[in-house]
Structure 1
Amino acid sequence: MHILSAKHLPILLSVIFICLVFTVRGQNSISGTVRDDKGETLPGVTVFLSGTKAITAADNNGKFSLKNVAPGSYTLTARFVGFQTFTLAITIAKDVTVNIKLQPSVSSLSEVKITAYSEEYYQKFRQYFLGTTLNAEKCTILNKEALHFHFDKASNTLTVTADDFLEIENKALGYKIKYLLQSFRLNEEEKLLAYQGQSVFEDLKAETPKEAKTWKQNREIAYQGSIYHFLRSVYKGTLQKDGYAVYTILNKTVPGSTDDGAQMRPDRKPLKADSLMKVIDADVKYFNHKQSLFVVYTIYEPEAYSNTGGGYDVKMTTKWNTFPKGQYSVLSFLVPEIVVDKHGYYSPPGSLAVEGRMAWEQIADLNPMEYGN
């Protein structure tokens, strides 16, 4: 099967899965009890805040507690074998109690048969899920046997699911990541990649001071110019200070429109951050723009990215020398508005299509929400 270069693939980033939202303000702990649909307590349930280092397990009485949580917006997730994953979007600034009810699973992932070409599909999944950066080369999925693959020949679509947390050892950034994969869909013919899930991070222990220093440097490089760094910059209104220049793309664009020779034409006048954000409250803002955005990040240009020969480049009719030198990305809105919090996380899932430099980095280059805050 022909594998398209990643430069031809816009990424539908799906980070926050929202079932219900409520807001509280004050201190910093989340506690509660986990029960099943019959009201019986469930010990041993894994409870965590997606994208962070905060994780715990319910005790013998089904009680859990996450302490020292920084104020902000999170996705509270509960996972237990045999039950549907529970997710709850929450903005927190004080102690709060959340009582969780888990519903039995309605189907078993074991019914999905792994095809004869599972290793081929695994390598494809790894490429698009972890990314193709140097950091991705230093990542290991420790339990790839948890993955299930289904390839639909009629639609040329690869679907991947998992019956447990994926455990990923990232020896480039110094993290062990547990990723609860909810969905993964790759259609190279339509040039579409979309995946969704929740992650929790654990710091690895460096074997030497040199390794610790390398991890620190790699984390900062991965963070600078990432989609989350950009959204935090938009949220704070510090685009220019943080090294960003953002332009409206004048011609009509849709996901994949910069592929296969198609070109775009950005406006030469940069946008201001306040024109992109509408304040909801102290913690959350709307990010919206009717047209796609051309984003230039002028500070970092990792050598590995430069050596791809523009592997994630974008094409335009306007001369390049009209714009600052740097990393070029395209963001396309798939819904009228997305909600962004101060961490740079947003909803609804799959609401942004990302092309260019920001699409280069995937799970292998992801830092926890605590990073940079």
Structure 2
Amino acid sequence: MKLFKILLLLLLPVFAWAQSVSVNGTIISADNKAPIAGASVFLSNSSFGTSTGKDGGFKLNGLQPGQYNLVVSSIGYEDELKVISVGVQPVTLNIELKPKVTELKEVTIGLMSKSDRKRALEEFKEDFIGMDANAQECKIINPDVLNFSYHENKTVLDAYTNEFLVIENKALGYRIKYLLKRFESDTKTGSLSYAGNQVFEELSGGKAKQERWHQKRDEAFYGSAMHFFRSLYSDSLEQAGYRIYDLSREDNTNRPSETEIQRHLRNMKQLSHDSLVYWLKQGRASRYTNQKFHGHFNVKDIVQPTDNPNLKQVVFPDHLYVVYTKKWEENFYKNVYRSPHDLNYQTTIVSLVNGNMAIVIDKNGTIVGPSPMYEGSWSQARLSTLLPVDYMPYSTQEQVLKNAKLRRD
């Protein structure tokens, strides 16, 4: 009996994670209450997706507890997004879609020259998909659905789609269907923002491909924001290889604005040697000064419960400085402060923006609501390394690190 109790205790976490819940319902038209067949129903940023039947019905099985964005999309109707909280009981939804009102939008795709559109597509690929090794194995299947426009003397690129943008990531083995609502990239300031909803589908492949995909997915997962927030939620940061600190800093008022720096550098042919050296130096300077650490955080210092038992909130003063001690940093970030005695581990600075007071997370490592700003390692994450929120690693962290070291050697 004692042995049975010990085994039961060891298996409890497995049983808890194995518990799954279903979400089902019916999709109808708001004007005539008729069922809508063939509507896409999916949980944003997950591998859970389906289409409605002739009766407008749908069902998603195997969900873990957490908060999700359920998206419904159908031709001729406005997209519908519902935030659902999944506990231990099945969720039933009846959703009405509103007919889409035709708007006379500017057709930017027809106004751009072929050379401008080609340039816009290449910029979009770099900013949206990425420039790493994984990105080289990503392909946009239907680029014609992208609508582009340039602003500010072609330094700001906007994009959106009216239907799914389909991207195959052959590095990780996913087909990603993305409803891109907004995309803006500014080459002057280096800022990038986009919003939308996506669903993942597994690519088919033989045993060798599957094993490679499993390995590449695990490499993308360990050290990611998802891995960190899962570890934070479960109070297992130390075992996962993370250290967190309180960082304060001030704006560097001696540094000119990025717009002014870039304006001078664009006219570098007209600059004297001394002026060119000066503006290059300003461009390399950090935007911040008086950066200081104010101690090491424990999980209990910054993680608090919420009214929803499936959610927790992360509250911290100043900025959250996150160090992942299992990987070396491969890039240089001029705005990321590093202690003179700190090893070159992967580092990210997390900042609350737009007056937000906390980051709300669930057990899947998903951020619920407004996202924070990342500087450093996580700021480089693009679609090429994106994993669904329901992703579970195939290998342990130690196995992944060992395999990566063997490949480098």
TM-score tier by shorter-chain length is 0.7 to 0.9
Structure 1 vs Structure 2: percent identity of aligned residues?
29
Deviation at 1:72, TM superposition (A): 2.1
Question: Is the counterpart of residue 275 in structure 1 residue 270 in structure 2?
Answer: no
Aligned AA (2:293): D
Question: Is the counterpart of residue 299 in structure 1 residue 319 in structure 2?
Answer: no
Q: Secondary structure at the match of 1:320?
A: coil
| Alignment partners' CA distance in 2, 1:319 and 1:29 | 48
Identify the match of residue 70 of structure 1 among 52, 55, 64.
64
| Alignment partners' CA distance in 2, 1:324 and 1:272 | 20
| Alignment partners' CA distance in 2, 1:205 and 1:222 | 20
Deviation at 1:328, TM superposition (A): 1.5
Deviations 1:288-343 (A, max 9, x none): 22312221111023xxx62xxx2456443x6431x344102111111222321111
Aligned AA (1:211): K
The equivalent residue for 1:358 is 378
| Alignment partners' CA distance in 2, 1:224 and 1:200 | 21
Deviations 1:102-147 (A, max 9, x none): 1223345864312221111111111111112111111001111110
Aligned AA (1:37): A
Moved more, 47-56 or 258-267: 258-267
| Alignment partners' CA distance in 1, 2:379 and 2:37 | 40
Aligned AA (2:80): F
> Which protein is richer in helix relative to its size?
2
Structure 1 residues 136 and 109 mapped into 2: Cα distance closer, same or farther (>3 Å)? farther
Deviations 1:33-60 (A, max 9, x none): 1112212221111101112211111111
Moved more, 217-226 or 152-161: 152-161
Aligned counterparts, 1:1-373, within 5 A: 28-38=21-31, 39-93=33-87, 94-108=89-103, 111-114=106-109, 115-116=112-113, 117-153=116-152, 156-207=155-206, 209-252=207-250, 260-262=284-286, 263=288, 265-267=291-293, 269-280=295-306, 281-301=308-328, 306=330, 310-312=331-333, 314-316=335-337, 319-321=339-341, 323-334=342-353, 335-349=356-370, 351-372=371-392
Aligned AA (2:77): F
Aligned AA (1:343): N
Structure 1 residues 60 and 125 mapped into 2: Cα distance closer, same or farther (>3 Å)? same
| Alignment partners' CA distance in 2, 1:253 and 1:241 | 35
Q: Secondary structure at the match of 1:241?
A: helix
Asked if 2 retains the 8 angstrom alpha-carbon contact of 1:133 and 1:361, the reply is: no
Larger radius of gyration: 2
Structure 1 residues 109 and 231 mapped into 2: Cα distance closer, same or farther (>3 Å)? farther
Deviation at 1:248, TM superposition (A): 1.7
Deviation at 1:148, TM superposition (A): 0.4
TM norm structure 2: 0.76
Q: Secondary structure at the match of 2:125?
A: helix
Aligned AA (2:379): A
| Alignment partners' CA distance in 1, 2:204 and 2:334 | 36
- Structure 1 moving runs of 4+ over 6 Å: 256-259
| Alignment partners' CA distance in 1, 2:321 and 2:77 | 42
Q: Secondary structure at the match of 1:221?
A: helix
| Alignment partners' CA distance in 2, 1:188 and 1:290 | 31
Deviation at 1:354, TM superposition (A): 1.0
| Alignment partners' CA distance in 1, 2:179 and 2:50 | 15
Asked if 2 retains the 8 angstrom alpha-carbon contact of 1:75 and 1:90, the reply is: yes
| Alignment partners' CA distance in 1, 2:81 and 2:247 | 36
Deviation at 1:251, TM superposition (A): 1.4
Deviation at 1:190, TM superposition (A): 3.2
TM norm structure 1: 0.83
Structure 1 residues 369 and 153 mapped into 2: Cα distance closer, same or farther (>3 Å)? same
| Alignment partners' CA distance in 2, 1:346 and 1:253 | 27
Q: Secondary structure at the match of 1:286?
A: strand
Q: Secondary structure at the match of 1:240?
A: helix
Asked if 1 retains the 8 angstrom alpha-carbon contact of 2:362 and 2:368, the reply is: no
Q: Secondary structure at the match of 2:175?
A: strand
Cα RMSD after superposing both structures: 2.5
Deviation at 1:253, TM superposition (A): 5.8
Moved more, 209-218 or 144-153: 209-218
Q: How many residues align?
A: 337
| Alignment partners' CA distance in 2, 1:204 and 1:165 | 17
Gaps of 5+ in 1: 1-25
Q: Secondary structure at the match of 1:194?
A: strand
Structure 1 residues 270 and 286 mapped into 2: Cα distance closer, same or farther (>3 Å)? same
Asked if 2 retains the 8 angstrom alpha-carbon contact of 1:314 and 1:329, the reply is: no
Gaps of 5+ in 2: 1-18, 259-281, 394-409
Q: Secondary structure at the match of 1:298?
A: strand
Structure 1 residues 65 and 319 mapped into 2: Cα distance closer, same or farther (>3 Å)? closer
Deviation at 1:357, TM superposition (A): 0.8
| Alignment partners' CA distance in 1, 2:142 and 2:103 | 19
Asked if 2 retains the 8 angstrom alpha-carbon contact of 1:131 and 1:362, the reply is: yes
Moved more, 146-155 or 284-293: 146-155
Q: Secondary structure at the match of 2:296?
A: coil
State the structure with bigger RCO (CA 8 A, min sep 6), 1 or 2: 1
Asked if 2 retains the 8 angstrom alpha-carbon contact of 1:313 and 1:357, the reply is: no
Structure 1 residues 96 and 347 mapped into 2: Cα distance closer, same or farther (>3 Å)? closer
Deviation at 1:282, TM superposition (A): 2.6
